[in-house]
Amino acid sequence: MKLADWLKKAQQEHFALGAFNVDSLEIFEAVAQSGQALKSPVMAEVSPGQVKSLGLQNIAALRENLSEEFGTRIFLNLDHADDLDIINSAIELGFDLVHFDGSKLPLDENMELARQVVEAAHKTGTLVEGEIDHFPGSSEPHSNKMGREKESTDSHLTEPGQAQEFVAETGVDIFAAFIGNKHGTYADGSERLNLEHLTKIRETLPQTFLSLHGGSGITSPDIAAAVSSGIVKVNVSTELRVAFRDTLENILKGNPEEYAWYKLTAPAIEAVREVVEGKIKIFGSAGKAS
């Protein structure tokens, strides 16, 4: 089954695919192992910064190698990309999805470039995700409370009519909805989704796949409710980074004379697996690939 088939299945059966950002071979391996363990399709995604670090060709090769090694269906997504050259390279390398992020551009320019991406991607069967709202936050833990930033988040949600225009004009397959979600995690734990607004967007775009960014900072009940309301793809990054780094730091402190990298990282990989498998269960995709 291709990605589009899986997203249709998710839409019909009310589950979502987890889209997990991979910073390294170790995190990529944890995602693949989790898919194998829970018999779930998974999506590995890379941001432009991660592409710069790992290299597009290496990422594509890792997908093929890990898919074969673990027998896991791994889809590849280029996440939040705005460079058309990188996007076209990802399409040529067989990425299943490219996310064109023109949210910082005027709407007309965003739509024009998104149309170009869709035209190029659809020639090879690659899907395209687009967005019109710039998602706040960053993929890291934030110690500050949301305060004024939360007020701004609550008052600026994706306008359904504008989303409908964007999808109609560009032909994107997946629309990234802004319903109170933010990148990162927040100390006060008060980040909540506006599920009523999601319903409005779902009603406006009944045939379009909807994605949810910022899956690390949202409560499990909210994510489960969003999936029930039509979200078919949930992005997760921060919790993976935190699990890997915190575990690795503890291992390094406790083993000052160990220099074998694979021995040091094994517990960190397991920590990331725990996060990924927990998300897969919340998203409802466990067992779907059996």
Identify the domain containing residue 279 by its residue range: 3-242+268-283
Is 25 within the bounds of a domain?
Answer: yes
Rounded CA-CA distance 44/35 in Å is 11
CATH number for position 81? 3.20.20.70
Is 229 within the bounds of a domain?
Answer: yes
The tally of domains found in the chain comes to 1
Alpha-carbon distances, residue 163 vs 150, 155, 202, 284 (angstroms): 22, 17, 10, 27
pLDDT of residue 181: 66
Is 263 within the bounds of a domain?
Answer: no
Is 192 within the bounds of a domain?
Answer: yes
Is 261 within the bounds of a domain?
Answer: no
Residue 111 CA, chain-centre distance (Å), reads 21
Is 248 within the bounds of a domain?
Answer: no
- Residue 23 a catalytic site member: no
pLDDT of residue 180: 81
pLDDT in tens, the chain (290 residues): 999 999 999 999 999 999 999 999 999 999 999 999 999 999 999 999 999 999 999 999 999 999 999 999 999 999 999 999 999 999 999 999 999 999 999 999 999 999 999 999 999 999 999 999 865 554 455 455 544 344 444 546 899 999 999 999 999 999 999 988 665 544 555 567 899 999 999 999 999 999 999 888 788 999 999 999 999 999 999 999 999 999 999 999 999 999 999 999 999 999 999 999 999 999 999 999 98
79, 96, 101, 173: the active-site residue: 79
Q: Is 186 left (phi over 0), alpha (psi -120 to 50) or beta?
A: beta
Is 172 within the bounds of a domain?
Answer: yes
* Length of the chain, in residues: 290
Is 60 within the bounds of a domain?
Answer: yes
pLDDT of residue 146: 44
Torsion angle defined by CA atoms of residues 136, 138, 144 and 147, in that order, rounded to the nearest 10 degrees: 10
Q: Is the pTM of this model over 0.85?
A: yes
